[in-house]
Amino acid sequence: MTQPVPMVRVVSVTKSYGAFQALKDVSLDIPQGAVQCIIGPSGSGKSTLLRLLNQLECWDRGAIFIEGELLGCVPHGQKLYAMKEQGIARQRLKTGMVFQRFNLFPHMTALQNIIEGPLHVLKRRKSEAMAEAEALLARVGLWDKRDAYPSEMSGGQQQRVAIARALAMQPRLMLFDEPTSALDPELVGEVLAVMRDLAASGMTMIIVTHELGFAREAASDVAFMDGGRVIERGPPAQVLANPAMPRTRDFIAAVLS
Amino acid sequence: MTAQPRGVDDGGRPGAPDYATLAITPRRHYGRWVTAALILLALGFLVKAFAEGDIAWGVVGEFFTARAILIGLVNTIIMTVCAMALGLTLGVVLAIMYMSPNPVTSTTALFYIWIFRGTPLILQLLLWFNLALVFPTIGIPGVFEARMVDVMTPFVATLLGLGLNQGAYTAEVVRAGILSVDSGQTDAAKAIGMGRLTTLRRIVLPQAMRVIIPPVGNEVISMVKLTSIASVIQYAEILRSAQTIYYANARVIELLIVAAGWYLIVVTVLQIGQYALERRFARGFGRSAPTRTEDAR
């Protein structure tokens, strides 16, 4: 029996910002349907890894495959050539991304934010896009906020709209970059609830987070990153409760205290 | 009957003033009354001086809607619209060129801005108008050819002078507007698969407009008045029309008042339009409109 193609395969990826090495030879396989949490101290490279998966930045060497497709490059002979802008935009359609600072479009209402991509990228019909957007808003519990501007919503509501905006593009993979870090503590729960629902629906998710409780309960796998490397990974029960590496143990103790 | 307040904390002892029932009388602004009186007095003298001065107000009324003046008004408006359209288009193109990763493209934009901001407008106007001195003919060999004096009419020379100059100033304004948009917005647009041009058109420029509109509004208003310098190359805008009339009837001040009146009317209408536009592009940014500085009490 052949192995199914993993959703994400990262092969020896290295990325530097000037003299600073953000990722050092990172390799990672993430199967279809996984809920992969990535934890680690700030500057450990976890957000960088997420931005590379959505090609918001380029890496220096190594390769990334999503559902078996090489990202960002076209092989020709022995060499890889950087892809054109349109090719990268097409590849990004497979991934949805949710940002720490929400990044909703402030000049558009919740509904307009969600239909923007379907209308102007996928060239869908407006009536269809609107109907789907309203269904998505209902799914994140914000149907009554469809005509509100981002400035009129709480952080938790904005982040739920941002999740709906990403889902409207019908991605195969969802990336979450510290989705609850910018929220007031009492608003974290509503966003995590939406993410839990999404995980239960079978969506493949990669989540950079500091919410160890959420990771313990919802993740299928937890990876701990430090200094640009994946130090340790495994089921949440093992990595979070019984870490093998001293650095993981120190980090978890520091977060919980 | 409670005690009078003494301005000292009585600590709630019996006989202490009942502060719950004491209203606070607003402060009196005697200085404001004095200032207002002085200003009104000065205005009164001004009005009196103009009323008694040797100005034939009848002539002002008579020429306010004279045919030549109205044609001048229309020419001023046409020139403002055309020069601003050219300036805005050039400004957006130059701002995008300026921010291009291609060094030749960005240096070209920089050079353009340097040339047009570094020389006086009236000099540029005279240059365009007299271009026939160095290029007697214009055209693409074999396709068409024309005499420069026929092409470079006062209208074309004014349009090029005002429009190209405006482009250099607008480029800076547009660039500042684009830079004011958070980089997270571009990330979010990319993440939903948008290309660079769609992102610029749908996401970045509409937000940049909030920063761009107030200065551009001011520049439209400046442009209305700047068109008057086209009178030196015989473009028949309001001021030129007024001059033509007073060369004949010698009513200089009266016709200048007529022109001033029309400039004020056009500028007032534009200011109202600018206010409406600013409200439109402030959507979703909390404030509904820019307000005057509020002064409490």
The whole-number pLDDT of residue B37 equals 96
State the pLDDT confidence band at B141, using cuts at 50, 70 and 90: confident
- Chain A residues with CB inside 8 Å of B180's CB? none
**Chain B window 154-183: which residues touch A at a Cβ cutoff of 8 Å?**
182
Mean of pLDDT values over B110-133: 93
Residue A232: enclosing H or E segment and its boundaries?
Answer: strand A229-234
The Cα A230–Cα A221 span in angstroms is 13
pLDDT digits (tens, 9 = 90+) for A119-145: 999 999 999 999 999 999 999 999 999
Reported as a single tens digit per residue, the pLDDT across B230-254 is 998 989 999 999 999 999 999 999 9
A150:B284 CB<8 A? yes
Asked if the model's pLDDT at residue B289 lies above 50, the reply is no
Please compute the mean of the pLDDT values over residues B73-79 and round it to a whole number. Answer: 95
In this predicted structure, the answer to whether residue B135 has a pLDDT above a threshold of 70 is yes
Quote the pLDDT of residue A1.
Answer: 53
Q: Which among A38, A143, A151 has a CA at the least distance from the CA of A102? A: A151
- In chain A, residues with a C-beta closer than 8 Å to the C-beta of B281 are 107
| Residue B283 to residue A107, Cβ atoms within 8 A | yes
Residue A134 CB partners (closer than 8 Å, separation 6+): A111, A143, A146
Q: Does A173 touch chain B (CB under 8 A)?
A: no
Q: Write the residue in A86, A89, A103 that is nearest to B188 by C-beta.
A: A103
Does residue B117 belong to the interface with chain A, where contact is any CB pair within 8 Å? no
Shortest alpha-carbon distance between residue A58 and chain B (Å)? 13
ipTM of the complex: 0.92
Across the interface, whether the CB atoms of B182 and A103 are under 8 A apart is answered yes
Q: Yes or no: say if B231 and B238 are a contact pair by the CB < 8 Å rule.
A: no
Q: CB of B137 within 8 A of CB of B147?
A: yes
pLDDT average, residue stretch B110-127: 94
pLDDT at A31: 95
The chain A residue lying nearest B288, using CA atoms, is: A151
- Nearest-CB residue to A151 (from B193, B281, B284): B284
Nearest residue on chain A to B182, alpha-carbon basis: A103
> What pLDDT digit, counting tens, does each position of B34-72 carry?
999 999 999 999 999 888 888 888 899 999 999 999 999
Compare B145 and A152 and report the one with higher pLDDT. A152
Residues sharing a CB contact under 8 Å with residue B212, sequence separation 6 or more, in sequence order: B173, B174, B176, B177
pLDDT mean over B257-271: 95
- How close A248 comes to chain B (CA, Å)? 31
Answer yes or no: pTM beyond 0.90: no
What is the side-by-side order of every strand in the sheet holding A204-208?
A95-98, A173-177, A204-208, A35-39, A221-226, A229-234
Mean pLDDT of B172-190: 94
pLDDT in tens, B2-39: 577 777 787 777 777 778 888 888 888 999 999 999 99
| pLDDT at residue B11 in the model | 73
**A112 and chain B in contact, CB less than 8 A:** no
Those residues of chain A that have pLDDT short of 70 are: 1-2
Contact B191 A86 (CB under 8 A): no
- State how far the alpha carbon of A108 is from the alpha carbons of A62, A164, B179, in Å: 38, 14, 20
Position B137 confidence tier, pLDDT thresholds 50, 70, 90: confident
Helix or strand run (H / E) with residue A229: strand A229-234
Residue-level pLDDT at B134: 87
- Cβ contact B285–A151 (<8 Å): yes
- List the structure tokens of B164: 């190209």
Chain B nearest-CA distance from A89, in A, is 5
Taking the CA of residue A129 and the nearest CA in chain B, the distance in Å comes to 14
